[in-house]
Structure formats: structure tokens, C-alpha cells
Amino acid sequence: MQSKILILLLLISVGGCSSPKLRKEVQDSINQTKPIVSNNELNSIEQQELSESKNLNKEQQEKLQSLIEKTSAYNKKINEEIYKTRAVLFKEIVGPKTATNKTKIKILESQLYKLNRKKTRNSLELYKETKEIVGKNDDSLERTLLLIDKKTNREY
């Protein structure tokens, strides 16, 4: 679910000025990619792409390696928080009805939303920094990051 949101945000940020043919090519690439079920798998794929790239100099590779490691550690930490929050939320939903149950559920839903927004923002920030390191700067991700920062729970 979280990866679908991320893909959707990336497609929206790229899709604003792209043709339907180009969007189809991007979607086909996504569809042809084997399912990635963990951060470790994604990290492995990124490491492989990094080591096989002939377009990067040593300094760029080192910066990207550090960025991948930093992002992987952050994602691991935030995923743990997301999973714990989801578990407690599920427990509250299926548990006995109490006077504070409804309020606890709203608090947990809000926390889950904020954690997922942090994770999405961090992932997009990784790609923004990656683009800066390899010299493919533009402001499409910056606009998306600003949108994420400005959204409130009520806007979704």
C-alpha cells in the first residue's frame, strides 16, 4: 500500500507534463519489475544499480552509498513504528467497546497517517538528493514535497 502511494506520487510529479505514451512506458517499467517485499530487497536492488552504473564517478557513488544506507536505516525505524501503530489500531478496532475507544482509534489513525507521510516524504527526499548528486536537478520533486508538507489530515 505504501509503495503504491509512493509510485502514485512519483507518477503525479512526473506526469504533469508528460505524454500518455511516456506515462505508459513508465507504468510498463513498474509492472515489469518483480515485486519488492522488503526494504532489504529494495536496498539490494539500489546497491546493484549503483555498482553497475557506468555514469557515476567515485565521489557520486560514495555519496549515493551513504544516502542509501541512511535512508534504509530511517525506513527500518519508521516501518517498526508503523507496524506497531497498526497492531495497536487493529487491537482497538476489534477489541471491546469502551468510553475512550473512539478517541483512541482517531489518535491512532492520525499517528498512522503522520508516520506514512513521514515515510513517503523521506523516500521522495532520497530521490531528490539522488538527482542532485547525479546532476539531474529539477523542481518536480520539490513541488511534491511541498504538497506533502502542506497537507493536513482533513485534506485526505
* Distance between CA atoms of residues 141 and 128, nearest Å: 6
Q: Would you state the pLDDT for residue 10?
A: 53
Of 63, 62, 65, 68, the residue nearest 40 (C-alpha) = 68
Residues of the chain with pLDDT under 50: 1, 4, 6, 15, 153-156
Q: Are 153 and 21 in contact (CB under 8 A)?
A: no
Helix/strand number for the chain, H first, E second: 6, 0
pLDDT digits (tens, 9 = 90+) for 24-46: 999 999 899 888 888 888 888 88
Range of the domain at 98: 2-155
Split into its structural domains, the chain has a count of 1
* Model pTM above 0.85: no
CB atoms under 10 Å from CB of 64, counted, come to 21
